[in-house]
């Protein structure tokens, strides 16, 4: 088990294995790592995790797996290794892609959104997983109980409604997500208003298509009535380009491009993204979403996460008039049970006192 003298990386790996996976020392761990040449996961991450997991008592094997824009079957020899593992850790996009699909094994699976050693060894990876689960549960409960939920942002978003059906479950049935960084998506069926889109549209990480990021100038206001995008206002070129991109992606995969499925906001104050989203949009969409400065909406397809993500920067989200997020900063103490979560985890409270602000967007 972890000791007081443990390094930050050891604490991160222990949090992943003991806290998230519920593993015990002596169990077997298969790490499936994507080719680092693809520049998604850092090249030194898988070797560091494997070495550290061994020091924590795990029987570790590490295999490299390929990447496919649309996930398919893994090679037979890797599938055989998967059958004999107690736990499988995906340091690969395949793990995230498979969270909505049946898995070819019975082992407990985890996908890590801490994609560098620094992320795993920093607050994002080391804040106790149990505390993040407790925070998610408190927010889920508050959202479910709220009679009026309103979302605004500096660019003019004004979305309002309430939950009229059970929130969509997070994709933790097939693949556990580490760290826990979002609450359960809220169905859009009970909401209406206008959402301000700026900078770019980006894929959700379900299917990797080209272009994965569609950039545009200006602000496009999208009118939303429940699950439908009903109108677009803004610069003519931006609106035309946005609608053409949506039609292209929807047409390729037989989807309803105007379907708006659900939304949620990041809850992890230690989630950070250095660099620019435009430089590596696939990595950005896989890791930055957990920062409380980012709200994202699942669109283009009548399922989560859809294939196109709308992103809002620095939202204010009020529940019955109380701003739980205010200008992109999450205040857990403003909901029932939130203060208890912070009291029980001083590490989490400290990071909320000085949360990460870098999200890859200027």
Is 232 a member of any domain? yes
pLDDT in tens, 29-79: 999 999 999 999 999 999 999 999 999 999 999 999 988 888 777 788 888
Using pLDDT thresholds of 50, 70 and 90, give the confidence band for residue 98. confident
pLDDT on residue 274? 92
pLDDT in tens, 79-96: 888 888 999 999 999 888
Calculate what percentage of the chain has a pLDDT beyond 70.
Answer: 94
Residue 215 and residue 91 share a domain:
no
Answer yes or no: is 289 within a domain.
yes
Answer whether residue 360 is part of any domain: no
Q: How many domains does the chain have?
A: 2
Domain shared by 122 and 135, yes or no: no
Q: Where among 126, 149, 165 does a domain terminate? A: 126
Q: Are residues 119 and 137 in the same domain?
A: no
Q: How confident is the model at residue 168 (pLDDT cuts 50, 70, 90)?
A: low
Domain co-membership, 116 together with 206? no
**Residue 296: what pLDDT?**
97
Residue 108 C-alpha from the chain's centroid: 19
Number of H helices, E strands in the chain: 11, 17
Taking 80 as the threshold, does the pLDDT of residue 102 lie above it? no
How confident is residue 172, by pLDDT bands cut at 50, 70 and 90? Answer: very low
Q: Is 44 helix (H, G, I), strand (E, B) or coil?
A: coil
Work out whether strand 176-178 and strand 108-112 pair parallel, antiparallel, or are unpaired: parallel
On whether residue 79 sits in a domain, the answer given is yes
What's the pTM?
0.94
201 and 138, same domain (yes or no): yes
Neighbours of 262 (CB within 10 A): 22
Q: Distance between CA atoms of 172 and 38, rounded to whole angstroms?
A: 26
Q: How many other β-carbons are positioned within 10 Å of the β-carbon of residue 68?
A: 14
pLDDT at residue 173 tops 80: no
User: Where in the sequence is the domain holding 228, given as residue range(s)?
Assistant: 129-353
Q: Which among 126, 144, 161 is the end of a domain? A: 126
Same domain? For 167 and 268 the reply is yes
Same domain, 161 and 51: no
In this structure, is residue 15 part of a structural domain?
Answer: yes
Q: Is 3 part of any domain? A: no
> Which of 228, 40, 229, 19 is closest to 132 using CA atoms?
19
Same domain, 64 and 184: no
Are residues 139 and 101 located together in one domain of the fold? no
For residue 295, what are the CA distances in angstroms to 60, 151, 181, 197? 36, 10, 12, 11
H helices of the chain, in order, are 8-14, 45-55, 76-83, 93-97, 117-121, 123-126, 129-145, 236-253, 281-287, 338-344, 346-353
- Do 43 and 149 have their domain in common? no
Q: Does one domain contain both 100 and 61? A: yes
Residue ending a domain, among 57, 92, 126, is 126
Rounded Cα–Cα distance for residues 252 and 232 (Å): 22
Task: Answer yes or no: is 359 within a domain.
Answer: no
Q: What is the CATH number of the domain that holds 50?
A: 3.40.50.2300
Please indicate, yes or no, whether residues 326 and 234 belong to a single structural domain of this protein: yes
């Amino acid at each position: 088990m972890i000791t007081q003298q443990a390094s930050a990386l050891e604490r991160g790996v222990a949090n992943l294995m003991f806290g998230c996976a519920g593993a015990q020392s002596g169990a077997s761990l298969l790490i499936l790592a994507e080719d680092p040449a693809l520049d998604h996961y850092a090249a030194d991450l898988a070797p560091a995790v494997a070495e550290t997991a061994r020091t924590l008592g795990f029987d570790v094997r590490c295999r490299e797996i390929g990447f496919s824009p649309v996930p398919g079957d893994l090679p037979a020899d890797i599938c055989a290794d998967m059958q004999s593992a107690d736990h499988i850790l995906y340091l690969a996009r395949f793990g995230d892609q498979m969270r909505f699909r049946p898995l070819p094994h019975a082992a407990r699976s985890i996908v890590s959104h801490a994609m560098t050693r620094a992320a795993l060894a920093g607050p994002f990876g080391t804040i106790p997983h149990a505390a993040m689960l407790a925070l998610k549960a408190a927010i889920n409960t508050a959202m479910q109980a709220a009679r009026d939920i309103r979302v605004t942002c500096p660019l003019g978003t004004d979305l309002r409604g309430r939950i009229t059906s059970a929130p969509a479950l997070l994709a933790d049935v097939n693949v556990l997500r580490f760290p826990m960084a979002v609450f359960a998506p809220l169905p859009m069926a009970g909401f209406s208003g206008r959402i301000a889109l700026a900078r770019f549209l980006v894929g959700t990480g379900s299917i990797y298509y080209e272009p994965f990021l569609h950039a545009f100038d200006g602000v496009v206001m999208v009118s939303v009535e429940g699950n439908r995008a009903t109108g677009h206002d803004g610069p003519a070129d931006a609106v035309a380009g946005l609608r053409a991109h949506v039609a292209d992606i929807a047409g390729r995969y037989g989807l309803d491009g105007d379907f708006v499925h659900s939304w949620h906001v990041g809850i992890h104050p230690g989630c950070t993204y250095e660099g620019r989203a435009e430089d590596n949009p696939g990595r950005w969409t896989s890791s930055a979403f957990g920062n409380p400065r980012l709200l994202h909406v699942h669109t283009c397809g009548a399922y989560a996460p859809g294939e196109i993500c709308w992103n809002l920067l620095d939202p204010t989200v009020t529940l019955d008039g109380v701003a739980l997020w205010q200008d992109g900063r999450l205040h857990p103490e403003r909901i029932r049970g939130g203060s208890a979560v912070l009291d029980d985890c001083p590490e989490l409270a400290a990071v909320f006192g000085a949360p990460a602000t870098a999200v890859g967007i200027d």
